[in-house]
Each structure stands twice: as C-alpha cells, then as structure tokens.
Amino acid sequence: MKFGILINEGPYQHQSSDSAYQFAKASIEKGHTIFRVFFYHDGVNNATNLTAPPTDDRNVTLRWTELAQEHDVDLVVCIAAALRRGILDESEAKRQNKANFNLADGFRISGLGQLIEAGIQCDRVVVFGD
C-alpha cells in the first residue's frame, strides 16, 4: 500500500509527529511505501535545523531526515505555513532578504499542490494532529 502522511502539529508540543514517524517506520518495515510526508500548520516546525534537544531526548527532526535518506521519503513543508513560522530554505531566505535559512536536511519547501498530489497518488493519506 502507498501512504501519504499529513502532520499538523509541532515536534514537541504534541504526540502527532512521534506517532506519524512510528507509523511511517512500521509501514516501511511491513513493505508499504511512504510516498510523501506533508508538514502543515505547526507541523512545519518539524523541519527546522535549529532544534537542539538534550542528548537523552529524541531528536524528531533528525529522525525524519534519516528516514527520508534511508527510504527515499519525500518530506514536503508547506511554504505558506513555513514562512509564517520562520522556516526558510536557502532560496526563500534570499527571496525574502533574510541572512540565514534553517530548513533541515531532507526536507523541501513547496505548496499545497504536493498534498493534493499525495491524495491522488496514494491509497491512503493518514492525518496526524488537528
């Protein structure tokens, strides 16, 4: 089965991102495909490379980065939600006249069309968070 995943909550305020990650990992282990993970609303906060959790805590952003690299999972961050929350890739930082960017490795910024495409291409889109 081909899954799309929508995450609407940040990495440390809510269980959604952890649950989505565990779902994605278990699905891959069972032979399913994760077509795309789309980060929306506060879910875009999963994509910042500026988080620095204590060493005895989980690093949610790094988990997603590693999953994407190991299993060719497309991690897409909603551009409108990202800009509102200060999440920028290098090209957006230049376009917005910002000195720095903070999008973590493995993530990319795009529009809601990517979520629509996941809905068309996937057997199921599973939503985590309100």
pLDDT at position 117, please?
A: 98
pTM: 0.96
Q: pLDDT tens, 52-88?
A: 999 999 999 999 999 999 999 999 999 999 999 999 9
- Among residues 6, 109, 127, 107, the alpha carbon closest in space to that of 62 is found at 107
| Residue 18 · residue 58 · CB < 8 Å | yes
Secondary structure of residue 102 in the 3-state scheme: coil
For each of the domains in the chain, give its residue range(s) and CATH number, in order of start.
2-128 (3.40.1260.10)
Q: pLDDT tens, 2-31?
A: 999 999 999 998 999 999 999 999 999 999
From residue 23, how far is each of 15, 37, 80, 124 by CA, in Å? Answer: 12, 11, 26, 13
Q: Give me the active site residues, please.
A: 78
| Residue 44 · residue 87 · CB < 8 Å | yes
Consecutive H or E run containing 39 = strand 33-39
